[in-house]
Amino acid sequence: MNVGAEIQQAFVVCISAVFTQNILLAYFLGLCPFIGVSREIKTAFGLGLAVIFVLTATVMLNWLAYRYVLEPLGLEFFRFILFIIIIAAFVQFTEMAIERFSPFLYQKLGVFLPLITVNCAILGASLFMVIRNYSFIVTIGWGLGSGTGWFLAIMAMAGIRQRLAHERIPRGLQGPGITLIIAGLMALAFIGFTGVLQGR
Amino acid sequence: MKLLLRVVEKIRPHFEEGGKFHAFLPVYDAIEHFLFAPGTITTTAPHVRDPIDLKRFMSMVIVALLPCVATGIYFFGLRFIALIVVSYAAGLSVEALFSIVRKEPINEGFFVTGFLFPLIMPPAVPLWMVALGVAFGVVIGKELFGGTGRNLFNPALVGRCFLALAYPVQMSGSWLKPGAGVAGRLLQYVDGSNVDAVTSATPLALAKGGEYVSLSHMFVGSVSGSVGETSALAILAGGMFLLLTRVANWRTVASILISFTALAAMLHHAQPDRFGPALWHLCAGGLLFGAFFMATDPVTGPITSGGKWLYGALIGVVTVLIRNFTGYVEGVTFAILLGNIFAPILDEMVFALRLRRLKVEG
């Protein structure tokens, strides 16, 4: 495949990862931070940006590691452990780098960066990339799209939760309960995109 | 009327504190308020900056829906009345249950939902599905969030979306051919058992195969589709009434129609044989009905004017995309629900921009 066609495919995969195959609302990955950190718009914004950045970077790193280390050695089954190590190491290094070079950004993202290590959307995106046999360029589109989709979903949820009037919600449903119901209704509406740009 | 008032007054003690049926006070209240004007003023959302109260607000919407109801009965027969009755019965019993548990009066909010819901149903849909859909919409879409004025999503659309995804076969196979001749189906009761009348082809479904129903038929409403959505004429009449009384905000409507028409026209211009003309799409399906009656709901939409423009543009664009690029025939339900999802964050964006401008100036 030539580069032009690949870039085009990467674009299609990117858009479909944002809407059609939204990693949060279609695959329900990364739900814990989605519920835990969506109470305020400001924090949701910070976490969302961090996810876009880390997700895009780690799928690329994991692609390289898988193609040039695991495949030649025939150790594909090892990918779970390796991917987790790479993600954790990458998050640690970026945290250190950001702290060193941009204290402002570090303050904004500081709390959320370590949290991302255990965000299953990050590992999930890397595993999907292996299953679907994406090329490197397409992987970039996939990572960027998945991250953006997650960002969009958590921003919408944060906006909704800020408007929510808590005092009238049944007591047992306040907090995570109603958040899960909202997430379900959001997923219901996102089903409408099924079939738009089915890029795999 | 006087006799009725006396009866209502006479049974009142049974429902008051200490009475035999005190638990059913909300039901009594609802009946009393429906029959006679209450002396109380609304204290909860949705508020409007107008001397009209919540109830008058709801009555305006119902009056505006009457042309659609009339064309619905004319083209699809008396069964539509059964749909309305079932929708009210199921929805009100759910509503009454919640009111009894909460020990508050039944809210007027349901009167509009119960009226809107049958209007967006296929005319031959089984009655139990109407009951199920409206109950789902009211419970999950509204009551769990705290009831009228606190719902994030339009309850009627939540119910319809649920039915469309849970029972796709019944939903897409329950369309009726509109009545032919002068009398329409005015005196007929047609349900799903009448094989001659049932069809699976709405104008939008036919358009996927490249066949376009004539525009004049769609404008008058003599095509198959959901009961209230087929007649552009009736919707425009009711919609204009809503806009003139300021119950619906013109920004939302204008933004949906402009963005929809612009994108549809662009697609048609690029590939005329693949995408239908913009004006045809405007009259087809539920777009007009959604734009005037669903998206303008003041509770589930954005509050700021800027937010309303963005919200409308989102709905218009997504509708075009879903209609033309997915397996779904119609996308208005999904598009408005998506609009509901993003409405709060659109408002926040407008607020943030305003704050920044204030900071720069000040």
At residue B195, the pLDDT reads 66
**Is A200 inside any structural domain?**
no
| Structure tokens that stand for A59 in this block | 């799928």
Query: For residue B358, how many other CB atoms are within 10 A of its CB?
Result: 9
Three-class SS state of B266: helix
Of A182, A192, A197, the CB nearest to B331: A192
Gap between the Cα atoms of B22 and A199, Å rounded? 60
The tens digit of pLDDT for each residue in B303-336 reads 899 999 999 999 999 999 888 887 777 889 999 9
> What residues are paired with B199 via a beta bridge?
B175
Q: How confident is the model at residue A171 (pLDDT cuts 50, 70, 90)?
A: confident
Gap between the Cα atoms of B256 and B126, Å rounded? 32
At residue B307, the pLDDT reads 92
Q: Which of B194, B187, B145 is nearest to B173 (CA)?
A: B194
In chain B, DSSP finds a helix count (H) and a strand count (E) of 16, 2
Q: Is the pLDDT of residue A66 over 80?
A: yes
For chain B, strand residue ranges (E) read 175-176, 198-199
Q: Is the pLDDT of residue A174 over 70?
A: yes
User: Is B231 within 8 Å of B220 (Cβ atoms)?
Assistant: yes
What's chain A's average pLDDT? 85
* Chain B residues touching residue A190 (CB < 8 angstroms): 338
Query: For residue A162, how many other CB atoms are within 10 A of its CB?
Result: 16
Q: What's the rounded mean pLDDT across residues A55-63?
A: 93
Gap between the Cα atoms of B56 and B54, Å rounded? 6
At residue B44, the pLDDT reads 55
User: Is B124 within 8 Å of B308 (Cβ atoms)?
Assistant: no
User: Is B104 within 8 Å of B148 (Cβ atoms)?
Assistant: no
Encode B325-357 in three state secondary structure.
Answer: HCCCCCCHHHHHHHHHHHHHHHHHHHHHHHHHH
Selected for mutation to probe chain B from A19, A193, A197, A198 (highest B CB count within 10 Å) is A193
Q: CA of A171: which chain B residue's CA is closest?
A: B144
| Structure tokens that stand for B291 in this block | 């734009």
Asked if the Cβ–Cβ distance from A197 to B165 is below 8 Å, we say no
The tens digit of pLDDT for each residue in A115-165 reads 787 788 899 999 999 888 889 999 999 999 999 999 999 999 999 988 887
The tens digit of pLDDT for each residue in A73-122 reads 888 888 889 999 999 999 888 888 878 877 777 776 666 777 787 788 89
Of B146, B152, B327, the CB nearest to A194: B327
A2: left (phi over 0), alpha (psi -120 to 50) or beta: beta
What's chain B's average pLDDT? 83
Q: CA of A159: which chain B residue's CA is closest?
A: B345
**Is A3 inside any structural domain?**
no
User: Is A112 within 8 Å of A50 (Cβ atoms)?
Assistant: yes
The b-or-e profile of B174-212 (16+ CB within 10 A means b, else e) is bbbbbbeeeebbeeeebbbeeeebbbebbbbbbbeeeee
User: Is B192 within 8 Å of B174 (Cβ atoms)?
Assistant: yes
The tens digit of pLDDT for each residue in B114-140 reads 889 999 998 888 899 999 999 999 999
* Chain A residues touching residue B331 (CB < 8 angstroms): 192
Query: Comparing A160-164, A178-182, B22-26, which segment has the lowest mean pLDDT?
Result: B22-26
At residue A42, the pLDDT reads 82
Q: What's the rounded mean pLDDT across residues B80-85?
A: 90
More confident residue, B24 or B91: B91
Q: CA of A183: which chain B residue's CA is closest?
A: B341
Q: Is the pLDDT of residue B343 over 50?
A: yes
**Is A174 inside any structural domain?**
yes
Q: What's the rounded mean pLDDT across residues B37-46?
A: 53
**Is A68 inside any structural domain?**
yes
**Is A6 inside any structural domain?**
no
**Is A199 inside any structural domain?**
no
Q: Which of B137, B61, B29, B343 is nearest to B145 (CA)?
A: B137
Q: Which of B318, B121, B102, B336 is nearest to A20 (CA)?
A: B318
Q: What's the rounded mean pLDDT across residues B33-45?
A: 55
Q: CA of B321: which chain A residue's CA is closest?
A: A196
Q: How many domains does chain A have?
A: 1
Query: What amino acid is encoded at A98 in this protein?
Result: I
**Is A45 inside any structural domain?**
yes
> What ipTM is given for this predicted complex?
0.86
Percent pLDDT > 90 in chain B is 30
Cα distance from B188 to chain A (closest Cα, Å)? 35
Q: What's the rounded mean pLDDT across residues B247-252?
A: 89
* Chain B residues touching residue A162 (CB < 8 angstroms): 344, 348
User: Is A157 within 8 Å of A24 (Cβ atoms)?
Assistant: no
At residue B217, the pLDDT reads 83
At residue B338, the pLDDT reads 92
In chain A, DSSP finds a helix count (H) and a strand count (E) of 10, 0
| Structure tokens that stand for B347 in this block | 């408002």
Percent pLDDT > 70 in chain A is 94
At residue A199, the pLDDT reads 47
The tens digit of pLDDT for each residue in B260-303 reads 999 999 999 988 888 888 888 888 888 999 999 999 888 888 98
Q: What's the rounded mean pLDDT across residues A43-55?
A: 86
Three-class SS state of B361: helix
Q: What range does the domain containing A34 cover? A: 11-191
User: Is B228 within 8 Å of B239 (Cβ atoms)?
Assistant: no
Asked if the Cβ–Cβ distance from B341 to A158 is below 8 Å, we say no
**Is A4 inside any structural domain?**
no
Q: How confident is the model at residue B31 (pLDDT cuts 50, 70, 90)?
A: low
* Domains in chain B with CATH codes: 1-49 (no CATH), 54-353 (1.10.3430)
Chain A, 141-170: which have a CB under 8 Å from a chain B CB? 155-156, 158-160, 162-165, 167-170
| Structure tokens that stand for B19 in this block | 């009475």
Got the DSSP string for A123-191? HHHHHHHHHTT--HHHHHHHHHHHHHHHHHHHHHHHHHHHH--GGGS-GGGTTHHHHHHHHHHHHHHHG
Name, in order, each residue with C-beta under 8 angstroms of A148's C-beta and a sequence gap of 6 or more.
A14, A17, A18, A52
Cα distance from A170 to chain B (closest Cα, Å)? 7
Q: Which residues of B have a CB under 8 Å from any CB of A?
A: 140-141, 144-147, 150, 152-153, 158, 161-162, 165, 318, 321-322, 325-328, 331, 333-335, 337-338, 340-348
Q: How confident is the model at residue B190 (pLDDT cuts 50, 70, 90)?
A: confident
